[in-house]
Amino acid sequence: MKLQMSLCLLLNVIVATCAREPSSPICSRYDYEERLLERVLRNELAQETTLNEIMKTNAKVVDALKHLEDGKAKFESTFVVMEKKQIEMESRLSDFISNTSNYMNTTLAANVGALEKKQIEMETRLSDFIHNASNNMNSTLAANVGTMVKAASDMKANATVTVQQLVNEVHILKDQLKVPTIYFRARITTAIDVSSNLDVIFPMVEVNEGQGYDPSSGKFTASIPGMYLFSVQYCVYNKKQVSLDIIHQGKTLQRSYFYDGASNYPCVIMQVSASIVTGHQVWVRTYDSTSLFADSWRYTSFSGTWIHF
């Protein structure tokens, strides 16, 4: 309906403008108007075709925007799940360390109490023996007095040696019950570009309990066997990508990839736990060209901690 109204209006304008017949002696007025009408119809058809193409393009753009919104929602959901898992893991690690410390303190206190009780019992028995020996010496011959005193002295000396041995054993037991502390954290201080298949070195060491991390090579060497937890937080350049692996003895334990397309310089965390034997090494390596960002607000770091035997 709109097309017909537009056509009628255009025809009226054309007729009003061209009221006179053309000066050409060949074409009549009606022939000129017929050709003009044909040209107008062709223009209207071209405009309608163009409008249809624009509507199709608009539909495609709307569909693409919908897909982008769906992808954004999925990413945000995945990020929330990762943050929740990180919080749960940190809580479980804290509870485990606290429970282990309480158990060992309780065990050590019980063993020390038992040894102290035995020492008191032996001292009581020794005191009773000396007291009884003293009473018996008053009723025995003078020749036996020296012998009994010597025997009492020997027993006291033996008891003193035994008590000292028990004290030494308590100290040894305390040393054996000490929980080792293995923990490190290091980071980079400026943004760096790292080529594919190269080790990433974090030169600034913030903590290195157990001295297992080597800042010159970027590698951690286990001094005791057990279960370890390793974590890497990396920040990303605008319009750049990060491709990192956590490596154990040349084998990939964990892999992560991120591309910053929103100009936000985001930071991403990846974690992995593994059973490590004494002497084995763990480090970070790229599997593709990588640009790592770091400033006073965003840290790119590598950390690890021993959990239990």
Contacts 24+ apart (CB under 8 A), 6-10: 6/44, 7/40, 7/41, 7/44, 10/40
Exposure class string for 81-96: b at 16+ Cβ within 10 A, else e: eeeeeeeeeeeeeeee
Q: Which of 163, 159, 164, 166 is nearest to 130 (CA)?
A: 159
Q: pLDDT value at position 275?
A: 96
Q: Write out the two tokens for 44.
A: 């209207």
Q: Could you give the angle at the alpha carbon of 147 between the alpha carbons of 146 and 148, nearest 5°?
A: 95
Q: Is 89 helix (H, G, I), strand (E, B) or coil?
A: helix
The answer to whether 54 and 36 are in contact (CB under 8 A) is no
Distances (CA, A) of 7 to 38, 205, 221: 11, 79, 84
Neighbour count for residue 283 (Cβ, 10 Å): 23
Residue that wins the pLDDT comparison between 120 and 4: 120
Distances (CA, A) of 258 to 83, 268, 291: 16, 8, 11
Q: Write out the two tokens for 130.
A: 């000396």
Amino acid residing at 69: E
Q: Write out the two tokens for 178.
A: 């000490």
In a 10 Å sphere around its CB, with 0-12 CB exposed, 13-18 middle and 19+ buried, how is residue 63 labelled? exposed
Confidence of residue 25 (pLDDT cuts 50, 70, 90): very low
Q: Which residues pair with 208 in a beta bridge?
A: 184
Q: pLDDT value at position 210?
A: 94
- pLDDT, the chain, mean: 82
pLDDT-above-70 percentage for the chain? 77
Give the model confidence (pLDDT) of 269-279 as tens digits: 999 999 999 99
pLDDT-above-90 percentage for the chain? 38
Neighbour count for residue 200 (Cβ, 10 Å): 20
Give the model confidence (pLDDT) of 100-129 as tens digits: 667 766 765 676 677 678 778 877 887 787
Amino acid residing at 256: S
Confidence of residue 33 (pLDDT cuts 50, 70, 90): confident
Q: Residue for token digits 């964990």?
A: 254
Q: Residue for token digits 């025809």?
A: 11
Is a pLDDT exceeding 70 seen at residue 243?
A: yes
| Distance from C-alpha of 284 to C-alpha of 251, rounded to nearest angstrom | 11
Q: For the full predicted model, state whether its pTM sits above 0.75.
A: no
Q: Could you give the angle at the alpha carbon of 272 between the alpha carbons of 194 and 84, nearest 5°?
A: 110
| Distance from C-alpha of 218 to C-alpha of 208, rounded to nearest angstrom | 12
Give the model confidence (pLDDT) of 128-176 as tens digits: 877 776 676 666 645 554 666 676 677 767 767 777 777 777 666 665 5
Confidence of residue 49 (pLDDT cuts 50, 70, 90): confident
Q: Which residues pair with 241 in a beta bridge?
A: 259
Residue that wins the pLDDT comparison between 92 and 188: 188
Confidence of residue 81 (pLDDT cuts 50, 70, 90): confident
